[in-house]
Every structure is written in structure tokens, then in C-alpha cells.
Amino acid sequence: MDPKPETVSAKTPKTERGRRTLRALLNAAAEEFGDKGFHEASISSITARAGVATGSFYVYFDSKEAIFKELVRDLSGQVRDSVAPRLMAAPDGLAAEGVALGAYLEFVRQHKEIYRIIDESEFVDPASYREHYTNSAARITARLAAAMERGEISPGNAEVRAWAIMGMNVFLGLRFGVWGEEAVDDVVQEASQLLARGIAPVKG
Amino acid sequence: MDPKPETVSAKTPKTERGRRTLRALLNAAAEEFGDKGFHEASISSITARAGVATGSFYVYFDSKEAIFKELVRDLSGQVRDSVAPRLMAAPDGLAAEGVALGAYLEFVRQHKEIYRIIDESEFVDPASYREHYTNSAARITARLAAAMERGEISPGNAEVRAWAIMGMNVFLGLRFGVWGEEAVDDVVQEASQLLARGIAPVKG
Amino acid sequence: MDPKPETVSAKTPKTERGRRTLRALLNAAAEEFGDKGFHEASISSITARAGVATGSFYVYFDSKEAIFKELVRDLSGQVRDSVAPRLMAAPDGLAAEGVALGAYLEFVRQHKEIYRIIDESEFVDPASYREHYTNSAARITARLAAAMERGEISPGNAEVRAWAIMGMNVFLGLRFGVWGEEAVDDVVQEASQLLARGIAPVKG
Amino acid sequence: MDPKPETVSAKTPKTERGRRTLRALLNAAAEEFGDKGFHEASISSITARAGVATGSFYVYFDSKEAIFKELVRDLSGQVRDSVAPRLMAAPDGLAAEGVALGAYLEFVRQHKEIYRIIDESEFVDPASYREHYTNSAARITARLAAAMERGEISPGNAEVRAWAIMGMNVFLGLRFGVWGEEAVDDVVQEASQLLARGIAPVKG
DNA sequence: CATGAATGAGAGTTCATTCAT
DNA sequence: TATGAATGAACTCTCATTCAT
């Protein structure tokens, strides 16, 4: 269940010991960045958490930015992968978006630090940030386009809708996943309804 | 008739010259933070832009954080004030949200740096960030509640809807205001439609 | 009862208002230096305590050092003057030194900050420090010499004795005046006895 | 056989090179503080004297205060150790105090900067100052108590006597060790006599 | 691969002092 | 005299990165 090894691009270790150290650094970095944010985080704190010497860090990463970037890619994949399986179960393209919101809210609540790290990438490595949200939007757009195709939702600009839906999800995630502790079912239902009526196929 | 005295919390100057210096610092800080972001920004760069000595900064602010906080409050007020007058013109509560989105998109496109500064507050002064979005949501919630009252929109959980709408706006603002350069009318229309059908009053 | 005006050398004010400001500054400085020590003390804190503007300070003193120096001279005089009257009452030159110790201990206990300020002058204005203790020693030396003359004490090197006695007093003052809270009578008696007879075993 | 490992409290180096750097910093600090006093001293001057980079300072010490504290502890030990061996040679408890004074005067004259540094600790790190003199007094008290026990000195309050003796020594040290250049034998003799027999007129 | 000491540029911050009003 | 804003040199401290072992 370890996060995909293929996402680890930089300086792939050749020995088993090396792989362990790399993994330890990545985990330590997730903790450190989640706790303190990028700028307050320090390499020496990361290596301390990982139980290795300062210098060892540079065996695996070129810079603080590099490990952060690596991490964002890793986490971005985790967010995606946590939603995907739930989507399979959705009866149709309209329902799918409600399911996706529910899955996202749950994930966010369980991994608040991931939300934070990804968001901070806007100011650390804008390209990663943009990539993350652009990818997300592209996936939603594709789903919507397919559903339109199938007549499950009304015709319209799929990309605009995708960004609108993603924004909805993210802010509901912030308010009811990261900040709030209240039950989430009502939120999902209310939002699903808004969405359903909003993009449901036009009858008659 | 002084410029926004309510935003000036710290060390109010007692002379006219002092007021000018303070304003110059605030304006310089907006430029600097907008250009470079909080961490890359430097006090000496701010004072240089403002045309005053380094030490003068500390006559008015206790720290880099302090002026940033001040600025976020200031800008948050500007965002609010830019949308408010347009709302007056809306025929009803349903249309109002479309109008608000349009106003917001325009504002964001003209003041990309404000968008950036407010967003960065999540990592510099989370309380300000939270306050900004909580205030925004509260205003939307109040509008929706009133509109429900008047039967202009369907009954439902106004707060959830407010956060959903705000999220939509913010992400459309990011995609089509900050990043994109394309015309914005289609976006507003598409989103308004999504919203309209989503929360329109249910017809008998 | 105000400290001697003649000790105020710098920029003697001509108006009544000026005299009040000067006195306020000196009192404020005594508090400030006593509380925080020379280096932690700040001019603006002194002027704030005195209830005047920062710039007013320089109407009366040339620098932070200058007011400190002034203060040490002032306080040095106070120490001297607090002991002098008690000496008059002493029956002879030997008893006088015990009386002086008693008077000094009392004074120190009541004015701990004065002890501190004078001592700090060693590092702020060594000349003042040296002057203070040299003057003290000279007064003791003179007393001892006169008493020798009168045969009230044994012949010997009056200056060495004076410094020894002063050191005794100062350190007993530190231990039992500044730090300790216990009754002081025993201390005075024990020290007086040491001074009179030394600590050699009493011969049968 | 490492140099005084007990004085090294903070961030003990793990390599030989580290130990050398630490020692160099401590020596440089003694020079710097002795020359300029605490507040005029600068970290960069210390590192320059030690021949290392500014940042290296913070590998071993948290602050200017921290190294000063370390140094006072170190020097306090040196004062103690310089007197101790001479005491062994004293024939009895009464003579011992004269010997101690002599040893102290010599030490002070050779290490004027140590005297200064320890005294300045009163204003930089009062706890160290207090500790230094409290320890000294405790050692003298113990000697006196033992000598009383053996009947070598008259009965009395050992602690009061100890502080009196220490004060005598310190002030004679200031006057004849730090400030004066004259021969010191007379001083020791006069003070020893005072201590032994006091200054009451010789009877009969 | 691992270690941890060394580096040094650069930042924020302080505050005694000056000066125009 | 009094005011308080303006000044700017100087300092401490941080930490990502390098490198010899």
C-alpha cells in the first residue's frame, strides 16, 4: 500500500537501505510540511524526524523545493486514487458528482495536512499547484462530457461546469472537512441537489 | 475623509506627515507582496518602494506579519466593496448570485495580486484567511436566506449553498480570472444557469 | 527633600516647567535603569514614564550615557548622605564603622535599585564607578586616620583597612541587604566584632 | 584528557574537529568579552578571532548570552582552582584566609579580564553571578566552620564572616589587583592582621 | 551511502539620535 | 521648550547547502 514508487523520480536508490531512507525522508517531510508549512519547515527537522544525518538529505533530493514538489505529486495521486474507486459504483454521471464530493470530504477530513500541503504549493511551486487542479478539472470535464454524450446531463460547457464543481467541492471540503466537525451527510445531499437540478437533463 | 481609517489598527499617526507615510507603506506592501509573495518580500524592499528609511517601517508596524495582516483586512474590504454596489442592481435573489460572480471575476482579473495575497494568508495568518472567507460566506448566506424568505429561491440549507457558491466563484475566478484571458461572459452565463436551475424555486 | 539640585549639571532649565520636566526625567530614569539595567533601558521608555515626548529628552541630556552618569552621581550622593548623620552619633572611631555598616545595610535594603545602578556603572561609565568607590574609601580612610591619631584604633595602613572595610560592607550589603530578607542586627554585630577583634581564638 | 569536558554543556561536538572549534570559540569569547565587555562584544568579532564563519557560532551556542554563561562557569572554576592548591600549604585555618587573599590578588592581577567578566555577569546573567559568589562564600564558610571546630579561630557566625572576608578580598583585589600596580605584600599582611586581630587598639 | 561540522549570505529588528514643525 | 516622525547603522540569528571524512 505504499504510495506508487513510480512517482519517485529523483535519484532512485539502488540498495534496500537506500530505499528505506528515501521512504523515511518522504514520510518525515509529509509530517513536517503538514505541521509547519513549507517555510517554517526545515531540512534538519525533516532529517531528524527521519532519523538520518542532515547531509543524507541531499543524497536523495536536490533541494527543499524538490522534495516538496515530489510530495505534492505523491499526494495529488493519493487524492485522485481515493475518489476513483467510489465513482465506479455511481449509477450515472449525475450521481457520480455527488459521490465524488462525499469521497472527497471524507478524504480531506482524514488527511487535513494533505489539503494544506497541496494548497501551499500555490506559493512554493505554482506549476505543481496548477497541474494538480488542472488534472482534477480535466477528469471532471471528461466525466461530464461523457455523461452529456449519454444524455445523463444537460448539454453545456463541460469545462466551466467542472471548475465550478471542483470549487464547490474544495470549499465545502475546507468548511466541513478541514474546519468543521459536524456530520457530512447533509452537506453532501444539499450540494448534490444543487448540482442535480443545476445540470440535470432538461425534461419535456 | 481620511482614507479608510477603520483599516488602520496599529500605531495611528498623529500628524499629517505620519498619515502619508503609513499609506505609502501600505501601498508599497501591496505591490511587494503581490509581486513576490510573503516570504520573498522584504521589509527593505517595501520601505524602498515607499521611499522611506528601513526604520520607519517599525514606527507603524511591529513586524512583517503585522503589515501583511493589516493588508489582508484592507483588501478583504475592497473585494467586498467592489461587489456590493452591483448587487443592488439585481432584480431578485436568484439573479444576484450571477451578478456577484460577474463582479467578482472582473475584480479578480483587474487585481490578480489581491487574489494572491488573500490566498497566501492561509499560510501566513490563518485567522485572517478564515475570517475573510467566513465573512464572505456569511454575506452570501444572508442573501440566500432573505431570498428564500421571499420565495425567490427554493428552500434549503443556506450555509451549505453559500459555501458551494463561494467555492464555485473562487475557482472560476482562479481559472478564468487569474489564469485565463478569454472573455468571461460565457462563464458567467454557464455558471448562472447551473446555479439558477440548482436553486430556483420548485414549480408547482 | 529633592536630591540636591547642584548635582544636576547638564543644561539647567530656566523655567519652572523645564525644572519639572528635568526632575521627571531623572526619576523616570532611576526607575527604568533600576528595573531593566542600562542596556535594556530605552530612552523612549524613560520619556514615556516621564510623560514627555522622545525628543524632549535631548533638551536636557546629550545621551543615554549622560543621564546615567548624572544619576550615578546623584545616587552616590544619596548613599553618602544617608550614612553621614548616623556617624555623628558614634561614641568613637571604632564604633563608627559598625554604625556605618548598619546604616548602609538599611539603605541598601530600602533602595536595592540604587545598588544595582551604581554597580552597573562599572560597565557603562567606569570613571563614575571608580569615583564612587574611591570617594567612599577616602572618607573611610580619613575617619580611620583620625581615629588612629586619637588612639581609638591600632596603628596601621588606613587605606588598606578602608578598602577592606568597604568590601565587607558591600558584600554584606549584597548578601543580607539585596538578596536576603533576614534580620540584620546579628550581621552588624558579628561584623563589628570581626572588625574590632578579628577572628583569632580568644586567649585564656 | 579532554579539556574540561564538564564545562561544555551545550551541543557537545562528536568529532575532533568539532571539539577544536568549540574550544576556539570559548577562548575567543574570553578575549572579546574581556576587551569590550558583553554589550560591545559582537558574535562576528568572536568568530573572527576564532577563525570560523559566523554561522559556526550557532552550531555550538544558542546566543551571545549562552556563551557568556558558559564562560562565567568556566572562569569561576578557574578562580576556584587557582586558590585551592595554595590553601593546602597553610599551617592553620587562620593563616589559610591570608593565603587565600594572597593567591586571589595574584590571580586577579594576572587575569584582570576574568574579574571583569565575572562581575559583568551581574547584569547579563544574574543567576551565574549569584552562583559564583554563593559558591565562593560556601567554600569559605566551610573552611571557617572546620577551623572553629578545631579551635583555630574564635566561635562566631561563619557565614557572616565568610561574606565579610570575601568582600574584603574582592575589593582589595579591585583596588590593588585590577587598578593598582604597587606591590601586594603589604596589603596581604595588613589585611591578614585585620582579620586575625581586628583594629581595636592593642591593650596593655 | 552516511555523517555532521562548516559555511555565509541575507533577513528582520532595534533604538539612540536628529530635526522640522 | 515640546513634539513625534524619520533615520540608518549595526546586530543577532537562520538555515539551505556543501564537503571532508
With 80 as the cut, is the pLDDT of residue D10 above it?
no
Sorting pLDDT into bands at 50, 70 and 90, what band is A197? confident
* Low pLDDT (below 70) residues in chain C: 1-10, 204
What is the model's pLDDT at position D5? 38
pLDDT at D7: 40
Q: Is the pLDDT score of D73 beyond 50?
A: yes
The mean pLDDT of chain B is: 90
Q: Is the pLDDT of residue A193 over 80?
A: yes
Q: Is the pLDDT of residue A40 over 80?
A: yes
- Contact residues on chain A for B194, CB-CB shorter than 8 A: 156, 161, 164, 195, 198-199
**Residue in chain D lying closest to C175 (CA):** D163
What is the pLDDT, as a whole number, of residue A198? Answer: 77
Q: Give residue-wise pLDDT tens across range B67-110.
A: 999 999 999 999 999 999 999 999 998 899 999 999 999 999 99
DSSP state for residue B127 in the 8-state scheme: H
Q: What's the pLDDT score for residue A13?
A: 82
Q: Does A65 touch chain B (CB under 8 A)?
A: no
Which chain C residue's Cα is nearest to D92?
Answer: C200
How far does the CA of C49 sit from the C1' of E12, in Å?
28
How far apart CA B113 and CA B61 sit, in angstroms, is 22
Render pLDDT for C66-99 as a digit per residue (tens, 0 to 9): 999 999 999 999 989 999 999 999 999 999 999 9
Judged by average pLDDT, the poorest of A162-166, B2-6, C118-122, D9-13 is B2-6
Cα angle A9-A15-A19, degrees, rounded to a multiple of 5: 50
- Give residue-wise pLDDT tens across range A118-160: 999 999 999 999 999 999 999 999 999 999 999 999 999 999 9
Q: What distance in Å separates residue C161's CA from the closest CA in chain D? A: 7
Burial of C51 (0-12, 13-18, 19+ CB in 10 A): exposed
Among the ranges given (B8-17, C169-178, D27-36), the one the predictor scored with the smallest mean pLDDT: B8-17
Q: How far is CA D143 from the centre of its chain?
A: 18
Residues of A from 1 to 60 whose C-beta is within 7 A of strand F: which are they?
40-44, 54-55, 57-58
- Do B and A touch, 3+ Cβ pairs within 8 Å? The answer is yes
Q: How far is the CA of B56 from the C1' of F9 (A)?
A: 14
Average pLDDT over residues B145-153: 92
* Chain C residue with minimum CA distance to D188: C160
pLDDT of residue B85: 92
Q: What are the chain C neighbours of D194 within 8 Å (beta carbons)?
A: 156, 161, 164, 195, 198
The pLDDT of A187-204, averaged and rounded, is: 82
CB contact under 8 A, D38 and C123: yes
Q: How many degrees, rounded to 5, is the angle at CA B177 between CA B139 and CA A72?
A: 95
Nearest-angstrom CA–CA distance, C39 and C34: 11
Contact A123 B39 (CB under 8 A): yes
Measured between CB atoms, does C122 come within 8 Å of chain D? yes
Chains that touch D (3 or more CB pairs under 8 A): C
Specify the residue for cell string 500500500.
A1
Looking at every residue in chain A, the average pLDDT score rounds to: 89
Residue of A161, A170, A190 lying closest to B194 (CB–CB): A161
- A72-108 per-position pLDDT tens digit: 998 999 889 999 999 998 999 889 999 999 999 999 9
Optimal mutation site among C39, C193, C199, interface D, most CBs of chain D within 10 A: C199
pLDDT of res. A185: 92
Protein residue nearest nucleotide E1, by CA to C1'? A18
Q: What is the mean pLDDT of residues D67-94?
A: 93
Nearest of B179, B196, B187 to residue B102 by alpha carbon? B187
Chain A interface, best mutation among B42, B160, B185, by max A CB count within 10 A: B160
Q: Does A33 touch chain B (CB under 8 A)?
A: no
pLDDT at A28 over 60: yes
Q: Chain B within 8 Å of A133 (Cβ-Cβ)?
A: yes
Per-residue confidence (pLDDT) for residue D9, from 0 to 100: 52
Inter-chain contact A156–B194, Cβ cutoff 8 Å?
A: yes
Q: Do chains B and D touch (3 or more CB pairs under 8 A)?
A: no
Cα separation, A136 vs A159, in Å, equals: 11
CA distance A174 to A189: 17
Q: Which of A164-178, B14-28, C38-52, D2-16 has the lowest mean pLDDT?
A: D2-16
Looking at per-residue pLDDT, the higher value among C199 and B58 belongs to B58
Judged against a pLDDT cut of 60, whether residue D69 lies above it is answered with: yes
Instruction: Return the residue matching grid coordinates 473585494.
Output: B79
Percentage, residues of chain D above pLDDT 70:
94
For residue B4, pLDDT over 70 is answered with no
What grid cell was written down for D170? 574582592
Positions in chain F where some atom is under 7 Å from a protein CB: 1-20
Flag whether residue D66 sits within 8 Å of chain C, measured between CB atoms. no
Who among residues 31-60 of B has its Cβ near strand F, under 7 Å? 52-56, 58-59
Determine the protein residue whose CA lies at the shortest distance from the C1' of E15.
C42
Residue found by looking up cell 503585522 in the block:
B66
Give backbone dihedrals phi and psi of A99, rounded to 5 degrees, phi first: -60, -45
Q: Calculate the CA dihedral of residues B46, B50, B54, B57 and round it to 10 degrees.
A: -80
Is any atom of strand F within 7 angstroms of residue C56's beta carbon? yes
pLDDT level of residue B165 (50, 70, 90 thresholds) = very high
Of chain B residues 178-197, which have a CB less than 8 A from chain A? Answer: 179, 186-187, 190-191, 193-197
pLDDT average, residue stretch B158-169: 96
Cβ distance A133 to B174 less than 8 Å, yes or no, reads yes
Interface membership of C40 toward D (CB under 8 Å): no
The 10 Å CB-count burial string (b at 16+, else e) for A166-195 is: bbbbbbbbbbbbbeeeeebeebbbbbbbbb
- CA pair distance D66, D56, nearest whole angstrom: 14
List the subunits that have 3+ CB pairs under 8 angstroms with A.
B
Mean of pLDDT over chain D: 91
